[in-house]
Structures are given as structure tokens and as C-alpha cells.
Amino acid sequence: MTRIATSWLVYKLTRSPLLLGVVSFAGQIPTFLVAPIAGVWVDRLSCRPLMAACDIASMLLYASLPVAAWLGVLTAWQVGVVALLGGVANVFFATAYQAYLPSLVTAADLIEGNAKLQGSASAAGIGGRGIAGLAAQAVGAATALLFNAASFVVSAACLLSIRAEPARKPARATTTARAEILQGSRFIARDPYLRPMTIYSTISNMAFGGVTALVVVFLVRVIGLGSAAVGLLMALGGIGGVAGALVVGRLAIRLGTARVLLLSALGAGLSGLLIPLTGPGAGVAFYAIGWAVDAVGIAMGSIIAASFRQAYCPPSMLGRATASMRFLGFGSVPFGALAAGGLGTAFGIRGALWIILGIDALSGTILLTPAMRSRKSLPTKPKAGQPRRVS
């Protein structure tokens, strides 16, 4: 709801594609700016109260937009500031969200738990876009954000209703934040599994940022589709995410987590190469198949990687390890979007998609390391002699 409603709001206020891009960038850049320090505080604090505080902060931020609109003082710059600060709250929430799950379920249930969370998130992504459109049409883009603000209240209430006693104890601050950030970064850089996963995620998400920046223009201007058809095709990504979440657990049991991770990364990249083949009429099937299969692979890979990280990393390091991987992985998305603009100008929209999706297809080969290829399933802890705590 946030992305759709704020985009419509900025465009309605300014009619400026440039400011629309600036506000979108403001909402995405906090991952790159604050993820490392978020990891430190997630390791130092209890996750549940931290997530609830992020929800309340987000509620206040997004509720301020319709209030300003009613008072006649709303500007695009306020929307940008809200997007930036809301993005900061989201970075802290998402990092704590990943670190909190191992406190609630056993290691054997992590894949199932992450699959249910990923599936519900994908379903919410589909529903959120539709609700945002209906609400904006019914009451206006600014007032529609009240529904978004209310959703954060519901989230906080759900979190505060949890009665399970967390097994994870927050780490005590014994060094500076900078030293703790470096500990998390070194742990990722020295590990034979986390290091290639992080590099792959960085390149793949940069490509994803580029594709999402171009795909609507590609479908409308190059292929000539209407808004309804574009919306339906875009929804296939969410449906693919739900499908991936439904099958990943059974595949992991049958094939092993390492093999499923490799299969999902390589399969997602190759299926994406169908997208630039999209044409009018029946040629739209190339996009539908490529986008849906790509989404299935992304969902499965995300679930396996998150479950592995939660079981593998020392509890005192989990927040920083998660934040370090998100810093590079998700922090690359806005830069992929910026690069896509330049490639689109130089080579045309279809040509830029070939380049970006070609890079994405090759990125999966980064995971073909000896450590990954030699195993059926990923380990649940570092091998003997590998330090679990980095100094």
C-alpha cells in the first residue's frame, strides 16, 4: 500500500516523474544507509518491543500525510521525508523480524516458519496493491494512507500479543558500534557459505531493481498493453511467491537445502531471460511464464537462505549477519534502478532488459562453489575449528 499510494500522491501533487523517482529512491535508500547499525541494535535489544516501536513510528509517519492534506499544507517534500523515515523504520523492523523467528520455533521448523512468512508476505503484496488502488479511487490517495497507518497498529498489536518467552538473549554491548559492525562483516566475509550468498544476492537484487524500474514502461510503451493487463501480469510475481513458499519445504526434504538453493538461483535467472522475448498478443506468454517462474525461484531461495542463516549464525551475531547481508543485497536495489535508466537510454528498453537479465542469469553461478556443490544440505553450524565468534 505504501509504494502505490505514495507514488500516486506525489504524481498528483507535482505531475513530475523526476520527483516521483526521488521519493521512490528515498524509500529504498535507508537499507544502504542504516542496515549495519540496525544489526547492532537488533543484537543489543529485544526484538519484539523493537518491532512494535517501529510499527508505531510508521503509523505516526504515514498518518501525518492525510492530516497535512486535510490542512492544505501537504507537499511532495513531506512525502519524501516520510518515505525516508518510514524506510528507516522498515530496515530496523525487517532485521529484527529475521532475528526473532529462531526464538519462537525450533531449528527443524525454520524452513516451514519462513515459508509461511514468505507466503503471507507475497499474498499481502498482491492484496496491498489492490487495496491501495481501490482506497485511492474511493477516498483519494492521501486519505487512503490512513488504511496503511492502521495496518501498522494491527501489526504492533499482534506482536504485543505474543506470549512465548524468547530463547534468544540480547547481547551486551562490550565494544563500540563500529567494532560490532566490523565483527558481523568479517563473519560474512570469511564464511564459505554466507560470502557467496551475499555476493549473489547483491548482484541479483541489483538486477531486480533494474528490471522493476523498466518493466512497466516496457509493457506499456513497447508491447502496447493497457493498465489492467499490466496489473494482472505484475500480480503473477506475488502468485509465484506464494507458490514457491508452498513447495519449498517438500523440495528441501527430498532434494536437500543446498540443492534447492542452487536450483532456485539458476532456474530463476534463466527463466528471467524469457521476459525480453515478450511481444504483442500471444507473445505476452513469455513475460507471464518468465516472471512467474522467476518469482517462484526467488521465494524458494529467500526461504532457504533465511532459514540457513538463522540456524547457522551464532545468536549473538544473527542481527549483524542479517543486516550485513541486507545492506549489500537490498542496498543494491536503488542503484540497479538508476543503472537501468542509463542502459535504457543507451540501448533502448528491450536492449537494457537483455543486459540486466543476462547479468541476473549469470549471477546464480556465484553459488557454484566447492562448499556448496559438495553438499546435499547446508550445515546448521560452522565446521569444527571455524570460530563462531569473530573478534
Burial of 224 (0-12, 13-18, 19+ CB in 10 A): exposed
Hey, what's the cell of 337?
A: 534502478
Identity at 173, one-letter amino acid code: A
Q: Under 8 Å CB-to-CB from 347, ≥6 apart: which residues?
A: 355
Identity at 260, one-letter amino acid code: V
* pLDDT number for residue 159: 94
Q: Determine the straight-line distance between the first and last CA of the chain, rounded to whole angstroms.
A: 42
How many degrees, rounded to 5, is the angle at CA 318 between CA 312 and CA 321? 95
Q: Is 218 left (phi over 0), alpha (psi -120 to 50) or beta?
A: alpha
Q: Is 338 left (phi over 0), alpha (psi -120 to 50) or beta?
A: alpha
- Residue (of 361, 225, 372) closest to 287 by Cα position: 225
Hey, what's the cell of 262?
A: 542452487
Query: What's the Cα-to-Cα distance from 219 to each of 11, 104, 258, 277, rounded to whole Å?
Result: 20, 43, 35, 12
- Residue (of 321, 37, 357) closest to 206 by Cα position: 357
* pLDDT number for residue 33: 86
CATH class held by domain 187-380: mainly alpha
Q: DSSP for 276-290? A: GG--SGGGHHHHHHH
Q: What is the pLDDT along the chain (391 residues), one digit of tens a residue?
A: 777 777 777 777 887 766 766 777 788 788 888 988 999 999 888 999 999 999 999 999 999 999 998 999 999 889 989 989 999 999 999 999 888 988 888 888 999 999 988 888 878 877 776 676 667 667 777 788 888 899 999 999 999 999 876 665 666 656 788 888 888 888 899 999 999 999 999 999 999 888 887 887 888 888 988 867 877 787 788 888 889 999 999 999 999 999 999 999 999 999 999 999 999 989 999 999 999 999 999 999 999 999 999 989 888 888 888 888 888 888 888 788 788 888 888 888 899 999 999 999 999 999 999 999 989 999 987 765 454 444 3
Identity at 265, one-letter amino acid code: A
Global confidence as pTM: 0.80
Domain ranges of the chain: 1-163, 187-380
Whole-number Å distance between alpha carbons of 29 and 44: 24
Whole-number Å distance between alpha carbons of 85 and 242: 29
* pLDDT number for residue 21: 67
* pLDDT number for residue 29: 83
Burial of 38 (0-12, 13-18, 19+ CB in 10 A): buried
User: Helix or strand or coil: residue 137?
Assistant: helix
Helices assigned H by DSSP within the chain: 2-14, 17-28, 30-44, 47-71, 76-100, 110-139, 141-160, 177-190, 194-217, 227-255, 257-272, 284-312, 318-329, 333-363, 370-373
